[in-house]
Amino acid sequence: MSAALLPATDALDALAAFVRARGRLLVLTGAGCSVASGIPEYRDHEGAWKSRPPVRYAEFVASAAARRRYWGRSLVGWERVAAARPARVHHALAALERAGRIEAVVTQNVDALHQRAGSRRVVDLHGRLDRVECLECGGELDRADVQELLRSWNRGFAAELAAAAARGARPDGDAAVEADFSTFRVPDCPACGGILKPAVVFFGENVPRARVERALRALERADALLVVGSSLMVFSGYRFCLAARAMGKPMAAVNLGRTRADDLLDLKVVADCGGALAEVAAAFDGPRGGPRIHAPAFDASRRPE
Ligand SMILES: [Zn+2]
């Protein structure tokens, strides 16, 4: 199978037809979905690193200095993620879910923007940045509470880092800033004194098996796979394309650049995912000329500080 290459409007019609013809979709989303929300992509359209890879898991666990540096940078980087708001693509997917067309959204993003747009059937493959976990007792904290502690304990750093962060933040909330973090104070678990880590899968760390299986079961129940805004360069996402092929499920993708699964796709739409998904969602949202997308159902309880 190879992806059909069509002019833009034909491609969008083909995408709408693809969705219409299949009952329920497993939607796999990536960083391209969050760009319009102001969260930059790690990789460019060819799948190469745009900048230095973030801290690795082994380094974070083994080194207090690496943890000080991570939390110091993320003191600034998190603000950008916390301030991000869902974009058209998030609202469109939430609308498709309300229309009964989505079995699950499996996301590689850690920004929880799908939930904040109103999606409920979400598997956060790589975790959520708005939560913090203890590596000893498994307890969980709100990132907003940890952020308050970090800020009040490290007032001297905040201004310096904020200025440096004007140069940009990373999608995992780890800002691209450097400083001397040797005196940066990092909180431990209030329950057991263990090491605290953002509840996201770091590079060099495996996605928890139960989470992968939950996503694969959703794929089994789904009628087709739709990839949105991902180059699929990370295996944790690409594996769902391999699984879909093994299950004989049709596959489509909307992405601005190439994807690792281009050869497996039945339909490839090279387009901005916000505009493309808004078009598709509109087709399931009442008569032509009616409201295009439901008003966003913003969940205030998930709103970060
Ligand atoms: Zn603990």
Structure confidence by residue, pLDDT tens digits, 261-270: 999 999 999 9
More confident residue, 205 or 246: 246
Interatomic CA distance for residues 13 and 291, integer angstroms: 19
Distance 192 CA to ligand 1 centre (A): 4
Distance 193 CA to ligand 1 centre (A): 6
Interatomic CA distance for residues 9 and 229, integer angstroms: 18
Catalytic amino acids? 126
Interatomic CA distance for residues 45 and 24, integer angstroms: 28
The H or E element spanning position 125 is none
Distance 137 CA to ligand 1 centre (A): 4
Distance 105 CA to ligand 1 centre (A): 30
E-assigned strand segments in 96-139:
102-107, 122-124, 127-134
pLDDT category, 81, cuts 50, 70, 90? confident
Distance 66 CA to ligand 1 centre (A): 19
Structure confidence by residue, pLDDT tens digits, 10-23: 888 999 999 999 88
Distance 146 CA to ligand 1 centre (A): 14
Mean pLDDT of 216-231: 97
Least confident of 212-216, 219-223, 296-300: 296-300
CB atoms within 10 A of CB 216: 17
The H or E element spanning position 251 is strand 251-254
Structure confidence by residue, pLDDT tens digits, 55-78: 889 999 999 999 998 998 888 888
Predicted local distance difference test score (pLDDT) of residue 177:
61
Interatomic CA distance for residues 134 and 139, integer angstroms: 5
Interatomic CA distance for residues 70 and 222, integer angstroms: 38
The pTM score is: 0.84
Residue 244 near residue 33 (C-beta atoms within 8 A): no
